[in-house]
Amino acid sequence: MSDAAAPDLAQRDAARDRAADAAVELVKDGMTVGLGTGDTAGRFIDRLARHASERKWKLTCAATSEASVARARAGGLNVRPLGEFARFDLAVDGADEVDPNLDLVKGGGGAHTKEKIVAAAAARFVVVVDQTKLVDALGDRCPVPLEVVPDAVEFVMARLVAQGAKVVLRSAEPAKGKKKEAGAAYVTELGNRILDARFGRIEDAEALARQLDAVPGVVEHGLFLGMASLVLVGEFTSERVKKLARLARPARPAR
């Protein structure tokens, strides 16, 4: 679904900026807004903060990571703890992959458990991406991240391998200016670990999601199915933002 020619960094940044700008236009004064995590979500947060200040909006926000909380508060947004919310008027986040059904793979930033909570709680979940994130099928490029409790890592990894996946335990990123420590695992803000599982092209994402949901020790996986109501895609060859809206899926025949 993406162009064959690889865009340069400036093109990607501009496309993400346009997608973030389009998402801000969906926000109205008085809304409760869920804020995602990652590069494009961060661009949305910065623009939302600026617009809220300029337009004197009164918004109430919650964010899916400590980094996003800090970024939003630095911009002057009113950010409350996520646990105080049962519902959001709008949530905006990025994605690692978007397929033609607007199903997603998320979790490259390790925040997909909170991201899924916010997406599920939102009356409208909007995804902002550049066109490199569009794929013909989930799994084409990215692994499926799974947040796993520490004591279940080996067990879950064995289960995933038995299902045909190639699995790695995500490593911690070293602090700036420091060398990477051998064997240091990435730790989520919830105190868990991340397994990145490559299943190859996923032909039946719903069946895979059910399998992953059934594995003890898995807190949450990065398949976001049927959740996005709108995907805003920043394009490279024009200043257009493509709007992809979810279509109703045909009902499955009764068994």
Question: Structure tokens of 128?
Answer: 């902002």
| Distance from C-alpha of 198 to C-alpha of 160, rounded to nearest angstrom | 9
Question: Structure tokens of 163?
Answer: 């299902």
206 tagged catalytic: no
Annotated catalytic residue within 54, 66, 115, 235? 115
Cβ-defined contacts of 20-24 (< 8 Å, 24+): 20/44, 20/46, 20/47, 20/128, 21/47, 21/241, 22/128, 22/232, 22/241, 22/243, 23/92, 23/126, 23/128, 23/232, 24/48, 24/51
Which residue numbers are catalytic? Answer: 115
